[in-house]
Structure 1
Protein backbone atom coordinates (compact mmCIF):
# COMPACT_ATOMS: atom_id res chain seq x y z
CA UNK A 1 0.00 0.00 0.00
CA UNK A 2 1.28 3.45 -0.90
CA UNK A 3 0.16 7.00 -0.28
CA UNK A 4 0.20 9.61 -3.06
CA UNK A 5 0.02 13.04 -1.44
CA UNK A 6 1.55 14.91 -4.36
CA UNK A 7 -1.26 14.47 -6.88
CA UNK A 8 1.41 14.07 -9.56
CA UNK A 9 0.91 11.64 -12.43
CA UNK A 10 3.15 9.84 -14.86
CA UNK A 11 0.21 8.59 -16.87
CA UNK A 12 -0.73 11.45 -19.15
CA UNK A 13 -2.07 14.96 -19.07
CA UNK A 14 -5.26 16.31 -17.58
CA UNK A 15 -7.08 16.46 -20.90
CA UNK A 16 -6.56 12.70 -21.29
CA UNK A 17 -7.88 12.11 -17.78
CA UNK A 18 -10.91 14.33 -18.29
CA UNK A 19 -11.84 12.43 -21.44
CA UNK A 20 -11.82 9.26 -19.40
CA UNK A 21 -13.82 10.95 -16.65
CA UNK A 22 -16.55 11.78 -19.15
CA UNK A 23 -16.40 8.30 -20.63
CA UNK A 24 -16.71 6.74 -17.16
CA UNK A 25 -19.66 8.98 -16.33
CA UNK A 26 -21.49 7.95 -19.50
CA UNK A 27 -20.90 4.28 -18.79
CA UNK A 28 -22.15 4.64 -15.20
CA UNK A 29 -25.20 6.63 -16.33
CA UNK A 30 -26.16 3.71 -18.59
CA UNK A 31 -26.81 1.76 -15.39
CA UNK A 32 -28.05 4.71 -13.30
CA UNK A 33 -29.85 7.45 -15.24
CA UNK A 34 -30.56 9.27 -11.94
CA UNK A 35 -26.86 9.36 -11.00
CA UNK A 36 -26.49 13.15 -11.11
CA UNK A 37 -29.63 13.65 -9.03
CA UNK A 38 -28.19 11.23 -6.50
CA UNK A 39 -24.95 13.25 -6.34
CA UNK A 40 -26.94 16.48 -5.96
CA UNK A 41 -28.85 15.16 -2.95
CA UNK A 42 -25.61 13.84 -1.44
CA UNK A 43 -24.02 17.28 -1.63
CA UNK A 44 -27.22 18.93 -0.37
CA UNK A 45 -26.89 16.80 2.76
CA UNK A 46 -23.20 17.64 3.10
CA UNK A 47 -24.10 21.33 3.10
CA UNK A 48 -27.00 20.83 5.49
CA UNK A 49 -24.90 19.02 8.11
CA UNK A 50 -21.30 20.27 7.78
CA UNK A 51 -21.41 23.41 5.64
CA UNK A 52 -19.65 24.52 2.48
CA UNK A 53 -16.00 24.03 3.50
CA UNK A 54 -16.01 20.35 4.47
CA UNK A 55 -13.11 17.99 4.87
CA UNK A 56 -14.31 14.94 2.93
CA UNK A 57 -13.15 11.35 2.60
CA UNK A 58 -14.11 10.03 -0.85
CA UNK A 59 -14.27 6.33 -0.02
CA UNK A 60 -13.55 3.88 -2.86
CA UNK A 61 -13.17 7.02 -4.96
CA UNK A 62 -12.55 5.42 -8.35
CA UNK A 63 -11.94 8.14 -10.93
CA UNK A 64 -12.94 10.82 -8.38
CA UNK A 65 -16.53 11.35 -9.50
CA UNK A 66 -17.67 12.52 -6.06
CA UNK A 67 -14.59 14.70 -5.50
CA UNK A 68 -15.05 16.46 -8.86
CA UNK A 69 -18.65 17.37 -8.05
CA UNK A 70 -17.75 18.30 -4.46
CA UNK A 71 -15.11 20.80 -5.56
CA UNK A 72 -17.28 22.23 -8.33
CA UNK A 73 -19.99 23.00 -5.79
CA UNK A 74 -17.80 23.82 -2.77
CA UNK A 75 -14.49 25.33 -3.97
CA UNK A 76 -13.20 25.61 -0.37
CA UNK A 77 -13.71 21.93 0.38
CA UNK A 78 -10.85 19.43 0.63
CA UNK A 79 -10.99 15.78 -0.33
CA UNK A 80 -9.02 12.63 0.41
CA UNK A 81 -9.73 9.97 -2.18
CA UNK A 82 -8.94 6.36 -1.31
CA UNK A 83 -9.08 3.33 -3.61
CA UNK A 84 -7.17 0.21 -4.60
CA UNK A 85 -7.95 0.17 -8.33
CA UNK A 86 -4.75 1.26 -10.16
CA UNK A 87 -6.53 2.11 -13.43
CA UNK A 88 -9.22 4.31 -11.90
CA UNK A 89 -6.63 5.95 -9.63
CA UNK A 90 -4.53 6.77 -12.72
CA UNK A 91 -7.50 8.69 -14.11
CA UNK A 92 -8.07 10.41 -10.76
CA UNK A 93 -4.43 11.45 -10.52
CA UNK A 94 -4.57 12.98 -13.98
CA UNK A 95 -7.83 14.75 -13.22
CA UNK A 96 -6.64 16.41 -10.01
CA UNK A 97 -3.00 16.94 -10.93
CA UNK A 98 -1.71 20.06 -9.19
CA UNK A 99 -4.88 20.57 -7.10
CA UNK A 100 -3.72 21.00 -3.51
CA UNK A 101 -7.25 20.39 -2.23
CA UNK A 102 -7.03 16.72 -3.20
CA UNK A 103 -4.93 13.90 -1.76
CA UNK A 104 -5.15 10.40 -3.24
CA UNK A 105 -4.39 7.31 -1.18
CA UNK A 106 -3.93 3.80 -2.54
CA UNK A 107 -5.16 1.22 -0.01
CA UNK A 108 -7.33 -1.85 0.46
CA UNK A 109 -10.49 -1.15 2.48
CA UNK A 110 -10.51 -4.77 3.62
CA UNK A 111 -7.21 -4.17 5.43
CA UNK A 112 -8.16 -2.97 8.94
CA UNK A 113 -5.12 -0.67 9.07
CA UNK A 114 -6.03 1.53 6.07
CA UNK A 115 -7.12 4.54 8.22
CA UNK A 116 -3.51 4.97 9.34
CA UNK A 117 -2.63 6.00 5.77
CA UNK A 118 -5.00 8.97 5.76
CA UNK A 119 -3.70 12.53 6.17
CA UNK A 120 -6.35 13.34 8.83
CA UNK A 121 -7.68 11.55 11.89
CA UNK A 122 -11.28 12.70 11.36
CA UNK A 123 -13.53 13.95 8.57
CA UNK A 124 -16.66 16.07 8.36
CA UNK A 125 -18.14 13.71 5.78
CA UNK A 126 -17.31 10.31 4.32
CA UNK A 127 -18.96 9.75 0.93
CA UNK A 128 -19.11 6.73 -1.35
CA UNK A 129 -21.16 5.67 -4.36
CA UNK A 130 -21.67 2.43 -6.29
CA UNK A 131 -18.68 0.79 -4.64
CA UNK A 132 -19.36 -1.02 -1.38
CA UNK A 133 -21.36 -3.78 -3.05
CA UNK A 134 -17.91 -5.15 -3.92
CA UNK A 135 -17.65 -6.18 -0.23
CA UNK A 136 -19.32 -9.04 1.58
CA UNK A 137 -21.36 -8.16 4.64
CA UNK A 138 -18.73 -9.31 7.15
CA UNK A 139 -16.17 -6.95 5.58
CA UNK A 140 -18.76 -4.17 5.34
CA UNK A 141 -19.66 -4.65 9.00
CA UNK A 142 -16.02 -4.10 9.97
CA UNK A 143 -15.69 -1.14 7.61
CA UNK A 144 -18.69 0.60 9.15
CA UNK A 145 -17.10 0.27 12.57
CA UNK A 146 -13.91 1.92 11.35
CA UNK A 147 -15.88 4.70 9.68
CA UNK A 148 -17.63 5.50 12.95
CA UNK A 149 -14.20 6.35 14.31
CA UNK A 150 -13.32 8.57 11.35
CA UNK A 151 -16.45 10.72 11.15
CA UNK A 152 -16.39 13.57 13.66
CA UNK A 153 -19.29 14.15 16.03
CA UNK A 154 -22.04 15.81 14.01
CA UNK A 155 -20.50 14.63 10.75
CA UNK A 156 -22.06 12.28 8.22
CA UNK A 157 -21.41 9.13 6.26
CA UNK A 158 -23.31 8.58 3.01
CA UNK A 159 -23.42 5.46 0.89
CA UNK A 160 -25.23 5.49 -2.47
CA UNK A 161 -25.54 1.98 -3.84
CA UNK A 162 -27.75 -0.91 -4.86
CA UNK A 163 -29.78 -1.91 -1.80
CA UNK A 164 -32.48 -4.31 -3.01
CA UNK A 165 -35.47 -5.31 -0.90
CA UNK A 166 -36.11 -9.03 -1.14
CA UNK A 167 -39.53 -8.64 0.49
CA UNK A 168 -40.99 -7.11 -2.70
CA UNK A 169 -40.34 -9.71 -5.43
CA UNK A 170 -43.02 -8.59 -7.90
CA UNK A 171 -41.96 -4.97 -7.68
CA UNK A 172 -38.35 -6.04 -8.14
CA UNK A 173 -39.15 -8.03 -11.29
CA UNK A 174 -41.14 -5.20 -12.87
CA UNK A 175 -38.41 -2.67 -12.10
CA UNK A 176 -35.72 -4.96 -13.52
CA UNK A 177 -37.61 -5.55 -16.77
CA UNK A 178 -38.21 -1.84 -17.28
CA UNK A 179 -34.60 -0.95 -16.45
CA UNK A 180 -33.11 -3.53 -18.79
CA UNK A 181 -35.40 -2.43 -21.62
CA UNK A 182 -34.13 1.14 -21.23
CA UNK A 183 -30.52 -0.06 -21.06
CA UNK A 184 -31.04 -2.11 -24.22
CA UNK A 185 -32.30 0.94 -26.10
CA UNK A 186 -29.34 3.00 -24.93
CA UNK A 187 -26.87 0.29 -25.88
CA UNK A 188 -28.34 0.08 -29.38
CA UNK A 189 -27.57 3.81 -29.66
CA UNK A 190 -23.91 3.27 -28.76
CA UNK A 191 -23.76 3.31 -24.94
CA UNK A 192 -20.93 1.23 -23.47
CA UNK A 193 -21.55 -1.23 -20.69
CA UNK A 194 -19.05 -1.97 -17.90
CA UNK A 195 -17.27 -4.80 -19.73
CA UNK A 196 -16.98 -2.81 -22.97
CA UNK A 197 -15.58 0.21 -21.12
CA UNK A 198 -12.88 -1.94 -19.52
CA UNK A 199 -12.10 -3.61 -22.84
CA UNK A 200 -11.37 -0.17 -24.30
CA UNK A 201 -9.29 0.79 -21.26
CA UNK A 202 -7.20 -2.36 -21.74
CA UNK A 203 -6.28 -1.13 -25.23
CA UNK A 204 -5.27 2.37 -24.12
CA UNK A 205 -1.45 2.66 -24.02
CA UNK A 206 -1.58 4.47 -20.68
CA UNK A 207 -4.24 2.34 -18.98
CA UNK A 208 -3.31 -1.09 -20.34
CA UNK A 209 -0.90 -2.06 -17.55
CA UNK A 210 -2.99 -0.59 -14.69
CA UNK A 211 -6.08 -2.31 -16.10
CA UNK A 212 -4.29 -5.66 -16.17
CA UNK A 213 -3.28 -5.13 -12.52
CA UNK A 214 -6.81 -4.21 -11.47
CA UNK A 215 -8.18 -7.46 -12.89
CA UNK A 216 -5.45 -9.35 -11.03
CA UNK A 217 -6.68 -7.68 -7.84
CA UNK A 218 -10.43 -7.92 -8.31
CA UNK A 219 -11.06 -10.65 -10.86
CA UNK A 220 -13.84 -10.36 -13.41
CA UNK A 221 -16.28 -8.75 -10.99
CA UNK A 222 -17.18 -8.28 -7.36
CA UNK A 223 -17.52 -11.16 -4.96
CA UNK A 224 -19.66 -8.93 -2.80
CA UNK A 225 -23.19 -8.69 -1.47
CA UNK A 226 -26.03 -6.19 -1.70
CA UNK A 227 -27.91 -6.10 1.60
CA UNK A 228 -31.09 -4.08 2.04
CA UNK A 229 -31.30 -0.46 3.13
CA UNK A 230 -32.69 -1.71 6.44
CA UNK A 231 -29.54 -3.80 7.00
CA UNK A 232 -27.30 -0.79 6.26
CA UNK A 233 -29.24 1.49 8.63
CA UNK A 234 -29.30 -1.06 11.43
CA UNK A 235 -25.61 -1.93 11.09
CA UNK A 236 -24.53 1.70 11.01
CA UNK A 237 -26.42 2.39 14.24
CA UNK A 238 -24.92 -0.70 15.86
CA UNK A 239 -21.43 0.51 14.92
CA UNK A 240 -21.79 3.89 16.60
CA UNK A 241 -23.76 6.24 14.37
CA UNK A 242 -26.56 8.09 16.18
CA UNK A 243 -29.09 8.00 13.32
CA UNK A 244 -29.26 6.36 9.91
CA UNK A 245 -31.87 6.24 7.16
CA UNK A 246 -32.36 6.59 3.42
CA UNK A 247 -32.55 10.22 2.25
CA UNK A 248 -33.07 9.47 -1.46
CA UNK A 249 -33.91 6.51 -3.62
CA UNK A 250 -34.65 5.57 -7.21
CA UNK A 251 -36.35 2.35 -8.29
CA UNK A 252 -32.96 0.58 -8.12
CA UNK A 253 -30.66 2.67 -5.90
CA UNK A 254 -30.63 4.16 -2.40
CA UNK A 255 -28.67 6.94 -0.69
CA UNK A 256 -28.16 6.04 2.96
CA UNK A 257 -27.15 8.78 5.41
CA UNK A 258 -25.72 8.09 8.85
CA UNK A 259 -25.20 10.89 11.39
CA UNK A 260 -22.41 10.58 13.94
Structure 2
Protein backbone atom coordinates (compact mmCIF):
# COMPACT_ATOMS: atom_id res chain seq x y z
CA UNK A 1 0.00 0.00 0.00
CA UNK A 2 1.14 3.53 -0.76
CA UNK A 3 2.64 5.35 2.23
CA UNK A 4 0.98 8.72 2.70
CA UNK A 5 3.44 11.56 3.05
CA UNK A 6 2.75 14.63 5.12
CA UNK A 7 4.25 16.60 2.25
CA UNK A 8 1.06 16.15 0.26
CA UNK A 9 -2.21 17.83 1.16
CA UNK A 10 -4.72 15.21 0.07
CA UNK A 11 -7.65 17.54 0.59
CA UNK A 12 -6.09 20.00 -1.82
CA UNK A 13 -5.57 17.26 -4.38
CA UNK A 14 -9.22 16.28 -4.03
CA UNK A 15 -10.30 19.90 -4.50
CA UNK A 16 -8.07 20.31 -7.53
CA UNK A 17 -9.70 17.23 -9.08
CA UNK A 18 -13.12 18.79 -8.48
CA UNK A 19 -12.06 22.07 -10.11
CA UNK A 20 -10.67 20.26 -13.14
CA UNK A 21 -13.87 18.26 -13.56
CA UNK A 22 -16.02 21.38 -13.12
CA UNK A 23 -14.23 23.00 -16.05
CA UNK A 24 -15.82 20.31 -18.22
CA UNK A 25 -19.12 20.14 -16.29
CA UNK A 26 -20.06 23.48 -14.69
CA UNK A 27 -23.32 21.95 -13.37
CA UNK A 28 -21.46 19.12 -11.63
CA UNK A 29 -22.23 20.31 -8.09
CA UNK A 30 -25.92 20.57 -8.84
CA UNK A 31 -26.13 16.99 -10.07
CA UNK A 32 -24.31 15.85 -6.92
CA UNK A 33 -26.90 17.69 -4.84
CA UNK A 34 -29.75 15.92 -6.62
CA UNK A 35 -27.94 12.59 -6.27
CA UNK A 36 -27.43 12.97 -2.53
CA UNK A 37 -31.05 14.04 -2.09
CA UNK A 38 -32.12 10.85 -3.87
CA UNK A 39 -29.94 8.72 -1.59
CA UNK A 40 -31.53 10.31 1.47
CA UNK A 41 -35.06 10.09 0.05
CA UNK A 42 -34.85 6.40 -0.83
CA UNK A 43 -32.23 5.00 1.57
CA UNK A 44 -32.67 7.19 4.65
CA UNK A 45 -30.18 8.96 6.92
CA UNK A 46 -27.83 6.04 7.66
CA UNK A 47 -27.41 4.18 4.38
CA UNK A 48 -24.73 1.71 3.39
CA UNK A 49 -23.49 3.13 0.08
CA UNK A 50 -21.30 1.71 -2.66
CA UNK A 51 -19.38 4.48 -4.44
CA UNK A 52 -18.67 2.85 -7.80
CA UNK A 53 -15.55 4.03 -9.65
CA UNK A 54 -15.14 6.46 -6.75
CA UNK A 55 -12.19 8.43 -8.13
CA UNK A 56 -10.89 10.83 -5.50
CA UNK A 57 -14.07 10.40 -3.43
CA UNK A 58 -16.07 13.40 -4.63
CA UNK A 59 -19.46 11.74 -4.20
CA UNK A 60 -18.57 10.10 -0.90
CA UNK A 61 -17.43 13.45 0.48
CA UNK A 62 -20.78 15.03 -0.34
CA UNK A 63 -22.81 12.07 0.95
CA UNK A 64 -21.01 12.18 4.29
CA UNK A 65 -21.44 15.93 4.62
CA UNK A 66 -25.20 15.60 4.10
CA UNK A 67 -25.62 12.23 5.85
CA UNK A 68 -22.96 11.90 8.55
CA UNK A 69 -24.42 8.57 9.66
CA UNK A 70 -23.78 6.95 6.27
CA UNK A 71 -21.18 4.24 5.68
CA UNK A 72 -19.47 4.02 2.31
CA UNK A 73 -17.46 1.46 0.38
CA UNK A 74 -15.33 3.14 -2.29
CA UNK A 75 -14.22 0.97 -5.22
CA UNK A 76 -11.95 1.94 -8.12
CA UNK A 77 -9.03 0.64 -10.16
CA UNK A 78 -7.02 3.85 -10.65
CA UNK A 79 -4.01 3.84 -8.26
CA UNK A 80 -3.64 7.64 -8.29
CA UNK A 81 -7.27 8.46 -7.61
CA UNK A 82 -7.47 5.80 -4.90
CA UNK A 83 -4.32 7.19 -3.26
CA UNK A 84 -5.87 10.65 -3.10
CA UNK A 85 -9.19 9.27 -1.82
CA UNK A 86 -7.49 7.19 0.88
CA UNK A 87 -5.52 10.22 1.97
CA UNK A 88 -8.59 12.44 1.94
CA UNK A 89 -10.57 10.02 4.16
CA UNK A 90 -7.66 8.84 6.32
CA UNK A 91 -8.91 8.08 9.83
CA UNK A 92 -12.60 8.15 8.85
CA UNK A 93 -13.96 4.75 9.89
CA UNK A 94 -17.12 5.33 7.88
CA UNK A 95 -15.20 4.83 4.63
CA UNK A 96 -13.59 1.61 3.41
CA UNK A 97 -11.87 0.88 0.10
CA UNK A 98 -11.70 -1.90 -2.45
CA UNK A 99 -9.52 -2.00 -5.55
CA UNK A 100 -11.28 -3.75 -8.43
CA UNK A 101 -11.78 -3.70 -12.20
CA UNK A 102 -15.51 -3.44 -12.88
CA UNK A 103 -15.09 -5.43 -16.10
CA UNK A 104 -13.83 -8.48 -14.16
CA UNK A 105 -16.51 -11.12 -13.68
CA UNK A 106 -15.58 -11.54 -10.00
CA UNK A 107 -15.08 -7.91 -9.00
CA UNK A 108 -17.80 -8.07 -6.32
CA UNK A 109 -15.75 -10.64 -4.39
CA UNK A 110 -13.44 -7.80 -3.35
CA UNK A 111 -16.24 -5.94 -1.58
CA UNK A 112 -16.67 -6.15 2.21
CA UNK A 113 -20.47 -6.31 1.82
CA UNK A 114 -22.79 -8.00 -0.68
CA UNK A 115 -25.90 -5.89 -0.09
CA UNK A 116 -26.19 -2.10 -0.22
CA UNK A 117 -28.88 0.51 0.30
CA UNK A 118 -27.56 2.69 -2.52
CA UNK A 119 -25.01 2.54 -5.33
CA UNK A 120 -23.73 5.84 -6.72
CA UNK A 121 -21.40 6.70 -9.58
CA UNK A 122 -20.52 9.72 -11.71
CA UNK A 123 -18.62 10.37 -14.93
CA UNK A 124 -17.24 6.85 -15.00
CA UNK A 125 -19.38 4.24 -16.72
CA UNK A 126 -19.21 5.96 -20.13
CA UNK A 127 -15.80 4.27 -20.46
CA UNK A 128 -17.54 0.86 -20.68
CA UNK A 129 -18.68 -0.72 -23.94
CA UNK A 130 -22.21 -2.04 -24.29
CA UNK A 131 -21.72 -5.64 -23.18
CA UNK A 132 -19.67 -4.91 -20.01
CA UNK A 133 -22.16 -2.19 -19.08
CA UNK A 134 -25.13 -4.52 -19.57
CA UNK A 135 -23.45 -7.07 -17.32
CA UNK A 136 -22.58 -4.44 -14.72
CA UNK A 137 -26.16 -3.16 -14.53
CA UNK A 138 -27.36 -6.70 -13.86
CA UNK A 139 -24.71 -7.16 -11.18
CA UNK A 140 -25.72 -3.92 -9.47
CA UNK A 141 -29.35 -5.00 -9.37
CA UNK A 142 -28.16 -8.04 -7.42
CA UNK A 143 -26.07 -5.95 -5.01
CA UNK A 144 -28.93 -3.68 -3.98
CA UNK A 145 -31.45 -4.64 -1.32
CA UNK A 146 -35.11 -4.59 -2.31
CA UNK A 147 -36.06 -0.93 -2.53
CA UNK A 148 -32.44 0.19 -2.87
CA UNK A 149 -31.45 2.85 -5.38
CA UNK A 150 -28.80 3.08 -8.11
CA UNK A 151 -27.77 6.56 -9.26
CA UNK A 152 -25.61 7.17 -12.33
CA UNK A 153 -24.59 10.69 -13.37
CA UNK A 154 -22.73 10.57 -16.66
CA UNK A 155 -22.40 11.69 -20.26
CA UNK A 156 -25.84 10.89 -21.66
CA UNK A 157 -27.58 12.77 -24.44
CA UNK A 158 -31.07 13.63 -25.58
CA UNK A 159 -30.81 14.13 -29.34
CA UNK A 160 -34.43 15.28 -29.79
CA UNK A 161 -33.46 19.00 -29.95
CA UNK A 162 -30.24 19.24 -32.02
CA UNK A 163 -30.33 23.01 -32.55
CA UNK A 164 -30.79 23.70 -28.86
CA UNK A 165 -28.02 21.23 -28.03
CA UNK A 166 -25.68 22.89 -30.50
CA UNK A 167 -26.37 26.37 -29.12
CA UNK A 168 -25.80 25.27 -25.52
CA UNK A 169 -22.63 23.37 -26.43
CA UNK A 170 -21.28 26.42 -28.26
CA UNK A 171 -21.88 28.59 -25.18
CA UNK A 172 -20.09 26.05 -22.97
CA UNK A 173 -17.16 25.92 -25.40
CA UNK A 174 -16.78 29.72 -25.30
CA UNK A 175 -16.83 29.74 -21.52
CA UNK A 176 -14.25 26.97 -21.35
CA UNK A 177 -11.96 28.86 -23.69
CA UNK A 178 -12.20 31.99 -21.53
CA UNK A 179 -11.57 30.01 -18.32
CA UNK A 180 -8.63 28.28 -19.94
CA UNK A 181 -7.10 31.67 -20.55
CA UNK A 182 -7.64 32.43 -16.87
CA UNK A 183 -5.64 29.37 -15.83
CA UNK A 184 -8.18 26.54 -15.59
CA UNK A 185 -6.64 23.06 -15.73
CA UNK A 186 -7.81 20.53 -18.26
CA UNK A 187 -7.49 16.71 -18.05
CA UNK A 188 -3.93 16.55 -19.40
CA UNK A 189 -2.73 19.48 -17.27
CA UNK A 190 -4.06 17.87 -14.09
CA UNK A 191 -2.32 14.59 -14.81
CA UNK A 192 0.90 16.41 -15.61
CA UNK A 193 0.83 17.87 -12.11
CA UNK A 194 0.22 14.41 -10.71
CA UNK A 195 3.24 13.05 -12.57
CA UNK A 196 5.41 15.86 -11.18
CA UNK A 197 4.42 15.26 -7.54
CA UNK A 198 6.97 13.05 -5.74
CA UNK A 199 4.30 11.67 -3.42
CA UNK A 200 2.25 10.46 -6.39
CA UNK A 201 5.10 9.25 -8.60
CA UNK A 202 4.74 5.57 -7.74
CA UNK A 203 0.93 5.31 -8.10
CA UNK A 204 1.17 7.47 -11.26
CA UNK A 205 3.61 5.01 -12.83
CA UNK A 206 1.23 2.15 -12.00
CA UNK A 207 -1.73 4.09 -13.34
CA UNK A 208 -0.04 4.90 -16.64
CA UNK A 209 1.00 1.26 -17.11
CA UNK A 210 -2.46 -0.05 -16.24
CA UNK A 211 -4.80 2.46 -17.86
CA UNK A 212 -2.66 4.55 -20.18
CA UNK A 213 -1.11 8.00 -19.91
CA UNK A 214 -3.81 10.72 -19.86
CA UNK A 215 -1.23 13.29 -21.00
CA UNK A 216 -1.01 11.61 -24.40
CA UNK A 217 -3.75 12.73 -26.85
CA UNK A 218 -5.93 9.90 -28.11
CA UNK A 219 -6.40 9.35 -31.85
CA UNK A 220 -9.43 11.20 -33.18
CA UNK A 221 -12.27 9.17 -34.62
CA UNK A 222 -11.56 5.93 -32.77
CA UNK A 223 -14.61 3.65 -32.94
CA UNK A 224 -16.28 2.64 -29.67
CA UNK A 225 -19.37 0.71 -28.72
CA UNK A 226 -20.45 2.92 -25.84
CA UNK A 227 -24.10 3.85 -25.27
CA UNK A 228 -24.74 7.60 -25.14
CA UNK A 229 -28.55 7.93 -25.13
CA UNK A 230 -30.34 8.46 -21.84
CA UNK A 231 -33.24 6.31 -23.06
CA UNK A 232 -30.87 3.37 -23.61
CA UNK A 233 -29.72 3.51 -19.97
CA UNK A 234 -33.27 3.69 -18.61
CA UNK A 235 -34.53 0.80 -20.75
CA UNK A 236 -31.47 -1.32 -19.96
CA UNK A 237 -31.76 -0.80 -16.21
CA UNK A 238 -35.34 -2.05 -16.31
CA UNK A 239 -34.32 -5.02 -18.44
CA UNK A 240 -31.54 -5.90 -16.01
CA UNK A 241 -33.77 -6.25 -12.97
CA UNK A 242 -34.70 -2.78 -11.69
CA UNK A 243 -38.38 -2.19 -10.91
CA UNK A 244 -38.37 1.39 -12.13
CA UNK A 245 -35.99 3.92 -13.65
CA UNK A 246 -36.18 7.57 -14.60
CA UNK A 247 -34.07 10.64 -15.27
CA UNK A 248 -33.77 12.92 -12.24
CA UNK A 249 -31.62 15.70 -13.70
CA UNK A 250 -29.98 16.70 -16.96
CA UNK A 251 -27.87 19.34 -18.68
CA UNK A 252 -27.11 19.50 -22.39
CA UNK A 253 -24.69 16.59 -22.41
CA UNK A 254 -25.08 14.96 -19.00
CA UNK A 255 -27.88 13.28 -17.10
CA UNK A 256 -28.55 11.70 -13.73
CA UNK A 257 -30.60 8.52 -13.92
CA UNK A 258 -32.05 6.69 -10.94
CA UNK A 259 -33.23 3.11 -10.73
CA UNK A 260 -34.98 1.42 -7.79
CA UNK A 261 -34.56 -2.29 -7.15
Q: Where in structure 2 are the equivalents of 1:186-205 lying within 5 Å?
A: 186-205=179-198
Q: Where in structure 2 are the equivalents of 1:151-166 lying within 5 Å?
A: 151-166=144-159
Question: Who is 2:244 aligned against?
Answer: 243
Question: Who is 1:94 aligned against?
Answer: 87
Secondary structure of the structure 2 residue equivalent to 1:110: coil
Question: Who is 1:4 aligned against?
Answer: none
Question: Who is 2:100 aligned against?
Answer: 107
Task: Determine if contact 1:162/1:226 at 8 Å carries over to the other structure.
Answer: no
Secondary structure of the structure 2 residue equivalent to 1:207: helix
Q: Please list every run of 5 or more consecutive structure 1 residues that lacks an aligned counterpart in the other structure.
A: 1-7
Q: Where in structure 2 are the equivalents of 1:94-243 lying within 5 Å?
A: 94-220=87-213, 225-243=226-244
Deviation string, structure 1 residues 189-240 (Cα, Å, up to 9, x no partner): 1110011000110000011221222122222469672421100000000000
Question: Who is 1:5 aligned against?
Answer: none
1:46 aligns with 2:39: yes
1:11 Cα deviation (Å)? 2.5
1:101 Cα deviation (Å)? 0.6
Counterpart CA distance in 2 for 1:32 and 1:89 is 22
RMSD of aligned alpha carbons: 1.7
* Deviating more after overlay: 210-219 vs 34-43: 210-219
Cα 1:13/1:148, change in 2 over 3 Å: farther
Question: Who is 1:254 aligned against?
Answer: 255
Task: Determine if contact 1:202/1:209 at 8 Å carries over to the other structure.
Answer: no
Secondary structure of the structure 2 residue equivalent to 1:206: helix
1:72 aligns with 2:73: no
Secondary structure of the structure 2 residue equivalent to 1:127: strand
Aligned residues: 253
1:253 Cα deviation (Å)? 1.0
Secondary structure of the structure 1 residue equivalent to 2:9: helix
TM-score (norm 2): 0.92
Q: Please list every run of 5 or more consecutive structure 2 residues that lacks an aligned counterpart in the other structure.
A: 219-223
Task: Determine if contact 1:202/1:211 at 8 Å carries over to the other structure.
Answer: yes
